[in-house]
Amino acid sequence: MSDIPLVEGVETAVFTVPTDAPEADGTLSWDSTTLVLATVCCGHLAGLGYTYAPAATARIVDTLLADVVTGQPVLDVPHSNEAMHRAVRNAGLPGVAAQAIAAVDIALWDLKARLLDLPLIRLLGAACRDVPVYGSGGFTTYDDAQLERQLRGWVEEEGIPRVKIKIGESWGRRENRDRQRVSRARAVIGDQAELFVDANGGYNAKQAVRVGRALADEGVTWFEEPVSSDHLTTLATIRDHVPQEVTAGEYGYILPYFEHMLAAGAVDCLQADVTRCGGITVWLRAAALAQARGIDISGHCAPHAHAHAAAAVPNLRHLEWFHDHVRIERLLFDGVLSPHGGSITPASHGAPGLGLTLNAKRARAYRVA
């Protein structure tokens, strides 16, 4: 009889949490956010992983992925990741299938670390002790008072020295308000904090160049998705014509996408989302692709899913401390980290794996499946 620990089962749960106010960026509005949780079991241990995705993502885990990883060695996470990628071939990998794989992959890494009784960063090996974060929100639906409260909360109360707001409102049709909101943000945070903007692909190319040059006067240094990240040559052209660093990559669901983006010279800093790109396994590979080209990587949203992997790469720039996901992770999980001073420290609690446990009592009210 083998003494190799095997995955014994995979379970899913879905939670939908309303926003605390109406929210929108340049191209989308929403009033709730859904988290799909995957739990992978081995004996008395369970690893958790999650993604922010439609509830249908759980169905993909249940029907296409659970049987693939059940019975596989817990320690061989890359093997299971590859098997999951093959299993969704005919379902279509980019999109919710990749997000389903991500949730299970994160859970497998969490389980492996728990089995070894190690914080995940000790298993992966640290490249840095602390992970810098930036406050992210500043939704286009906020009035001046809401924006000011959020910015002051990050900069003055939590000591985060870098923040990001949304622009490109209404697909770029409110350019004057975009500029006014950026000016307001700079006035609130002062001259010492860094100011980033995210257009979520809301501008056209010439408009993005015009806006980027105008925002240089406000000291904006990070211009995220000035146009759609589907258009890599256009991103590269804008990168050559604005003073800010041009960034994108959050919609990378497969590793070749990141290679295409880097080869096109489309970004100054690569963004990748561990809950979308196929999990920690693939996120680490994306970081290596970027490092090979002398490019930093930034983790997109879902800060507690990223924290340990982010600390394991030498070319980490920072991690997005996204308002919605921070709220949800603080609500659903125990063991969350503090960003006080502008960084988080994975393994600061000493707990194994990601250091998170589901708070079933708090989570119960938001469970939808």
Question: Read out DSSP for 42-75?
Answer: ETTEEEEEEEE--THHHHHIIIIIHHHHTTSBTT
What is the phi/psi pair of residue 321, to 5°?
A: -95, 75
Q: What angle do CA 38, 44, 48 make, to 5 degrees?
A: 20
- Summarize pLDDT for 78-129 with one digit per residue, the tens: 999 999 999 999 999 999 999 999 999 999 999 999 999 999 999 999 999 9
Q: Pull the structure tokens for residue 217.
A: 């006067």
- Let me know: does 281 contact 308? Beta carbons within 8 Å: no
* pLDDT average, residue stretch 324-345: 98
Provide the pLDDT for residue 2.
Answer: 62
- Kindly tell me if the per-residue pLDDT of 1 is higher than 60: no
Strand-pairing partners, residue 16, are 34
Region label for 249, one of left (φ > 0), alpha (ψ between -120 and 50) or beta (otherwise): left
Provide the pLDDT for residue 3.
Answer: 84
* pLDDT average, residue stretch 161-178: 98
- Kindly tell me if the per-residue pLDDT of 186 is higher than 60: yes
* pLDDT average, residue stretch 36-43: 98
- Summarize pLDDT for 267-322 with one digit per residue, the tens: 999 999 999 999 999 999 999 999 999 999 999 999 999 999 999 999 999 999 99
* Residue 17: closest CA among 366, 336, 302: 366
Whether the full predicted model's pTM is greater than 0.85, yes or no, is yes
* Residue 29: closest CA among 141, 155, 183: 141
